[in-house]
Amino acid sequence: MSRLSEDNVRIAQEIIGRYPRARSATIPLLHLAQQQDGYVTNEAIRHIGELVGATSAEVLGTATFYEMFKFEPVGKYLVNICRTMSCALMGGDELMHHAEHTLGIKAGSTTPDGLITLEHAECQAACTEAPTLQVNYRYRFRVTPETFDALIEDLRAGRLDSEIPPHGTVARIRQRIPADRGVGAVAPEDVTTAPAWMPAPEAAK
Amino acid sequence: MTGTTYSHVPGYVAGDRPQIVTSRFQYDDSYTLERAVATDGYAGLRAALGRSATEVHDEVKTATVLGRGGAGFPAGTKWGLTPQAVWPRYLVVNGDESEPGTYKDRLLMERDPHQLIEGCLIACYAAGLSQCFLYIRGEMALAQERVAAALNEAYAAGYVGNNILGSDFSVDIVLHWGAGAYVVGEETALIESLEGNRGMPRLKPPFFPAAIGLYGKPTIVNNVETLANLPWLMRNGAAAYTAIGSATSPGTRMVAVSGHVKRPGVYEIINGTTTFRDLLYNDEFCGGIRDDNELKAFVPGGGSAPWFLPDQLDLPFEGRLIGAAGSMAGSGAVMVMDHTTDIPKAALTLTRFYAHESCGKCTPCREGGTWLMRILDRVVAGQGTARDLDQLLEVGATICPGDFPHASSERLGIAAVPFPYKMTTICFVGPSAYTPVHSALTLFRDEFEAKLLKRTFIPVTGIHEPAVAQ
């Protein structure tokens, strides 16, 4: 299991259909692959290339540019601790120091049981609630050593399973465009006239 | 302290001020279609559809809705830059908010996605844009879920898609999401990313996205907050909009104040007239520096902005005035440092950010940013030499030759150098790596000098006590 499953291919085709060019779906499909396997496999890269009409090298070239894509297995939970200025001013470094000691690992590695991967993160856009962290991109605000320890305990005990999906799943709600409501994507070269609602003088220009 | 906070919107503080974009934040179900419609939701769209596209465009031009992403370019003018008779035109919504210190777009997407959708529709109608791509930062799971759910509701209710509200106006809004790259917030990098490529900025001028953008077609890239202003504007008119704020910066603006203040928060402030002193010290806003400490310095407009000193507290939050004083209003993010702050270390947290986020396309940024980070790291660790401080400025000059903007200081007896700077890179990531270094070194050089060669020797034999070298 590493190419996209049949169900996921259906989702992939729905996503591709929304763009005037299939290649635009590359990043969404990489997320889909990561959701399926927890990380992006070589087979998934090849499969995505087939689906969007790109070579594996092109898809890999895009994928490796972006921080969120992982190319080897990571923990079920990815814990990202922010280290940019606002968080640093409010104790982000100290929080990371505490986390490394509590988990017994350095930032960038995974606990031996494969449950938690710890990483530095850059600004998470919650600067007034510093220091912040995200677990699989779900926020925790004003984190203290005590609330960090409680969080880890909850994760280990599976108490947050309903709130925090395993690594790979970002949004749990997908956009669905109903067939009877969608305008549909048109290749840019096939559009030569102004949209219907544009007033005549503008359309005639 | 005055103002209201809501447990369902951590960080946001409402006050007794006009609310153009945050009026629904008070409701815990503000993101639902039901709540939106019950509180004037899509009334701005109806008002727009009742007029011609040209009239709507003119209204936005008259209101001078300034772009809220960083550059502050008027949205109405930007829409007018598309070449005539070239179709299709696209709208790309920049929701890739990741400038250090900034968050307002995330709240606007999480708390009021229908307002954003309505704003997108108004922009598409006015500028003849036939498809809209709403690009949300990859790490914002909740924003993606809320916007996806809102789009699903809006499609089902006939607000988005074919023949919107029974008119001949038809447009799709496609939710797109990123995967973690700060540089994608730059509009041409955003377009590259949306085309499925590495998010590297395109060379410009001559061709800006309004002329050649997504798939080589005219493309308008607008920030989330900019578009969120449009529903209110359509309901109330340009005159009501310009009645708020200053003549050059009308309306309101979302500003996040973080760091060493008593009540850090996101505030919708009156644009152009609220001063930094108001923001940092008034009970309505942050209520003073934490523990009544002394203010040392602050970053006025996001991590890319040159730093200000207490000397600049009485400046209003107005783009041109801040620019003349040596910095930029940028993305509306103030980061406050009190007297306990280690300035070289604080500068390092920002320079490291930009060095890390360099896309690698331009050599001065790719190499220079990393050099700056490494030298600074060495100085902060007490292993720097006097030569290192000069080296920082020399490396910076390869990214930004000539005078670099900075604030005036009475204490140091220096005058301000106004914004902007010259740059050898395509986008602002490279100069932004240098900005904190330059500001910190110019305004607090003594703190760097105090750190030079302070490493501790641990002798091999253990006979001597560890000593600090001079």
Q: How many angstroms separate the CA atoms of B319 and B311, rounded?
A: 17
AA letter at A53:
G
The whole-number pLDDT of residue B369 equals 97
Q: Which residues of B touch A127 (CB under 8 A)?
A: 100-103, 256, 258-259, 264, 333, 335
User: Comparing C-alpha atoms, which of B432, B421, B444 is closest to residue A122?
Assistant: B432
DSSP 8-state class, residue B447: H
**Looking at per-residue confidence, does B457 or B2 come out higher?**
B2
The whole-number pLDDT of residue B453 equals 82
The whole-number pLDDT of residue B118 equals 98
pLDDT band at B466 (very low <50, low <70, confident <90, very high): low
**With pLDDT > 90 as the criterion, what percentage of chain A qualifies?**
96
User: Comparing C-alpha atoms, which of B444, B454, B470, B439 is closest to residue B384?
Assistant: B454
**With pLDDT > 70 as the criterion, what percentage of chain B qualifies?**
97
Pairing mode of beta strands B333-338, B295-299: antiparallel
pLDDT at A169 over 50: yes
User: Comparing C-alpha atoms, which of B104, B179, B98 is closest to residue A170?
Assistant: B179
Mean of the per-residue pLDDT values for chain A? 95
Q: Please, how many CA atoms are within 13 Å of residue B235, restricted to the half-sphere of its CB?
A: 16
Q: Has residue A133 been placed in a domain?
A: yes
Q: Which residues of A touch B101 (CB under 8 A)?
A: 85-86, 123, 127
Q: Which residues of A touch B10 (CB under 8 A)?
A: 126, 129, 141
**Looking at per-residue confidence, does B269 or B85 come out higher?**
B269
The total number of structural domains that make up chain A? 2
pLDDT band at A203 (very low <50, low <70, confident <90, very high): very low
pLDDT band at B467 (very low <50, low <70, confident <90, very high): low
pLDDT tens sequence across B340-364: 999 999 999 999 999 999 999 999 9
CA distances from B358 to B281, B323, B432 (A): 35, 25, 10
- Is the backbone peptide bond immediately before B205 cis, with ω within 30 degrees of 0? yes
Question: At how many degrees (to 10) do helices A26-37 and A42-52 cross?
Answer: 150
Residues spanned by CATH 1.20.1440.230 within chain B?
Answer: 343-470
CATH number of the domain enclosing A27: 1.10.10.1590
Phi, psi of B256 (to 5 degrees): -100, 125
Per DSSP, chain A holds a count of helices (H) and strands (E) of 8, 4
The top-level CATH class assigned to B343-470 is mainly alpha
CATH number of the domain enclosing A141: 3.40.30.10
Q: What is the mean pLDDT of residues B374-393?
A: 95
Q: Has residue A196 been placed in a domain?
A: no
pLDDT tens sequence across B77-93: 999 999 998 999 999 99
**Looking at per-residue confidence, does B455 or A171 come out higher?**
A171
AA letter at A147:
T
Q: How many angstroms separate the CA atoms of B366 and A5, rounded?
A: 39
| Whether residue A82 sits in one domain with residue A54 | no
pLDDT at A36 over 90: yes
Q: Which residues of B touch A198 (CB under 8 A)?
A: 53, 128
> What ipTM did this prediction achieve?
0.96
The whole-number pLDDT of residue A204 equals 44
Distance from CA of A41 to the nearest CA of B (A): 16
Pairing mode of beta strands B265-270, B252-259: antiparallel
- Is the backbone peptide bond immediately before B74 cis, with ω within 30 degrees of 0? no
Mean of the per-residue pLDDT values for chain B? 95
pLDDT at B464 over 80: no
Q: How many angstroms separate the CA atoms of B261 and B293, rounded?
A: 9
Q: Please, how many CA atoms are within 13 Å of residue A135, restricted to the half-sphere of its CB?
A: 20
Determine the CATH number of domain B19-242.
3.40.50.11540
The whole-number pLDDT of residue B71 equals 86
Q: Has residue A201 been placed in a domain?
A: no
Whole domain around residue A139: which residue ranges?
A: 77-157
Specify the 3-state DSSP secondary structure of A74: coil
Q: What is the mean pLDDT of residues A19-30?
A: 98
User: Comparing C-alpha atoms, which of B70, B33, B10, B43 is closest to residue B225?
Assistant: B70
Structural contact between residues A52 and A23, judged by C-beta atoms closer than 8 angstroms: yes
Q: What is the mean pLDDT of residues A10-20?
A: 97
Q: Which of A18, A35, A63 is the last residue of a domain?
A: A63
Residues spanned by CATH 3.40.50.11540 within chain B?
Answer: 19-242
**With pLDDT > 90 as the criterion, what percentage of chain B qualifies?**
94
| Whether residue A124 sits in one domain with residue A57 | no
List alpha helices for B22-135, DSSP H: 33-38, 43-49, 53-63, 75-79, 105-111, 113-127
Compare CB distances from B349 to A66, A85, A180 and report the shortest one's residue.
A85
Q: Has residue A72 been placed in a domain?
A: no
pLDDT tens sequence across B390-410: 999 999 999 999 999 999 999
Structural contact between residues A119 and A108, judged by C-beta atoms closer than 8 angstroms: yes
State the distance between the two ends of chain B, measured CA to CA, in whole angstroms: 49
Residue A70 CB neighbours (<10 A): 17
Question: At how many degrees (to 10) do helices B429-443 and B363-380 cross?
Answer: 30
Q: How many angstroms separate the CA atoms of B464 and B52, rounded?
A: 85
Q: Has residue A22 been placed in a domain?
A: yes
pLDDT at B135 over 50: yes
The whole-number pLDDT of residue B222 equals 97
pLDDT at B456 over 80: no
pLDDT at B29 over 90: yes
pLDDT tens sequence across B137-181: 999 999 999 999 999 999 999 999 999 999 999 999 999 999 999
pLDDT tens sequence across A101-154: 999 999 999 999 999 999 999 999 999 999 999 999 999 999 999 999 999 999
Q: Has residue A85 been placed in a domain?
A: yes
- Comparing alpha-carbon positions, the chain B residue that sits nearest to A91 is B259
